Amino acid sequence: MSRLRAVDDLIYRAEKVACALMLAVMGVVVFLSVAHRAASSLVPGTPAPNWYLDAGGSLESWPTVGTALVAAITFFASWFGARSRGSARPLVVALSLGVLVPLVIRLLPIVLPNGLVEAQPLALGLLLWLSLLGASIAAKERKHLAIDIGSKIWPAALVPRVAAIGHFVTAGFCLLILGLGLRSVMDAWHVWVASEYAGGLISGVRFLPRWTAALAIPYGMAVLAFRFTLEAIDTWRGEAEVIEDGTLHALGIKLEKAP
């Protein structure tokens, strides 16, 4: 069991690093996508907002005025956020972002004239991976949902055995979903290979096949089954504490255990 626990710890550390990297990629991609949409309205010749035209503004002056508004909003939001977090130099942070963000917005239409069409499907694929990695990490940290009313009903001597059986059943369901997930991955793989790697791609993403996103499901279910099996063995042996009902605990409800 010690070797299995060492493998589990190694997977856990790798998952945390992967989550951090995926969140960083998602943040950058989504920011660039939103910034590009904002930049599209600041390109000379594009329609200006009605409120600006109604106030007497012209179509020619809107890109300059709009960029100045973005700079001002970014400056004050950054300054307030930096002060709230106790930054030693909130003014430096605000000035830096107040210059950088408008500059990026003005340059995006030049660097990405067709926009970032891959942003949304790529973010959704990463979100699927993050969901399964998050579930796996929660199981490792024993922070997953644990609705266990039975532990209040069974005699105390039977609680570890019943909880262990529950973990084994959970692992079994994970293996069932693992099999279904593998079928989905293989179907996507065959389409990708049969099309000579030109088809079966994530919609809008020209460089990622669909099976790379679908692979998150069998991976997550495999690791969950592995961790719940380890949890079941430790619980059966009395080496792991039975997780109490998380929902009742959050509501502040305490039930007396059966004698």
Q: What is the pLDDT along the chain (259 residues), one digit of tens a residue?
A: 678 889 999 999 999 999 999 999 999 888 888 877 777 777 776 777 787 777 888 777 888 888 888 899 999 999 999 888 888 888 999 999 999 988 888 788 777 777 677 788 889 899 999 999 999 999 998 877 665 655 667 677 777 788 888 889 999 999 999 999 999 999 999 999 998 888 888 877 777 899 999 999 999 999 999 999 998 898 888 777 766 555 454 445 555 554 4
Spatial separation of the C-alpha atoms in residues 193 and 89, rounded to whole Å: 54
Buried b (16+ CB within 10 A) or exposed e, 148-166: beebeebeeeebbebbbeb
Q: Which residues are within 8 A (CB) of 2 and not within 5 positions of it... i.e. 6 or more apart?
A: none
Residue 209 forms beta bridges with which residues?
Answer: 201
Amino acid in the structure at residue 162: V
Spatial separation of the C-alpha atoms in residues 233 and 241, rounded to whole Å: 12
In Å, what is the CA distance from 80 to each residue of 76, 83, 91, 97?
A: 6, 5, 9, 12
The pTM for the full model equals: 0.76
